[in-house]
Homo-oligomer: A and B are copies of this chain.
Amino acid sequence: MGDVKVLGASLSLFCWRIEWALKHKGIDYEYIEQDLRNKSTLLLKSNPVHKKVPVLVHCGKPISESLVILEYIEEKWTHNPLLPEDPLEKAMVRFWAKYVDDKCVLDALVASRAKGSEQKKAVNSAQESLKLLEKLIEGKKFFGGETIGFLDLVVGSLPNWLRLLEEMEGIKLLDSKELPLLHEWAQRFTEIPIIKECMPKTEDLISYFRAQKNGK
């Protein structure tokens, strides 16, 4: 099926899911780490609109936007499906994937940036957003059912990234008392070998961002 490249930044939560999807499908790929403070000609040429990672380059053709890339991977390599076949179930997965990227990520960012009296309110609001995912995983092993699916790869970007925000800002977002099922799911998910392989440790994320903050 030709040459597959992933332009990513190992610390970007939107990149891990692309590698997980390719590994889930058993597709060999070349990973090319991008320096986001000094963008490469390859990145600028591959995603001239947003100049962002991730980009999947398949046989020389670049595709951007992580959810668009996941759909492409699913359509191009149809074995080990990530999406359900039924159009209604598929719509539900797409709805929640958008919810994670738009609502959960935004609310967590707002909470991490809020100061003083606003912070508690923002943290509560971020937790409320996550509670809908807690409800969604109730009674299930994975969001995809007995095995991981599209939505697991999307939600899967959250735990380590949320822990990073927690450590950096001294807040609690993915509280194991408030969100026990999501916590258990995150543990199950990160134990899967192909997931573990491409999931930076929270400690590494923290030291990277501390270094960046200090201009190193």
Contact = CB atoms under 8 A, between A and B. Distances in A.
Contacts of A11: none
Contacts of A75: 87, 90
A92 B47 CA distance: 12
A35 B87 CA distance: 29
Nearest to A78: B87
The 8 tightest CB contacts between A and B, nearest first, are A75-B87, A72-B91, A68-B94, A63-B91, A76-B87, A68-B95, A68-B91, A72-B87
A99 B49 contact: yes
Interface of A: 49, 58, 61, 63-65, 67-69, 71-72, 75-76, 87-88, 90-92, 94-95, 98-99, 132
B132 A95 contact: no
A115 B87 CA distance: 45
Nearest to A59: B88
A131 B76 CA distance: 31
B98 A49 contact: no
Given A65-B94, A71-B94, A95-B68, A58 B132 contact: no
A90 B63 CA distance: 11
Contacts of A72: 87-88, 90-91
14 contacts: A49-B99, A49-B132, A63-B92, A63-B95, A64-B95, A65-B95, A68-B91, A68-B95, A69-B91, A71-B90, A71-B94, A72-B87, A72-B88, A76-B87
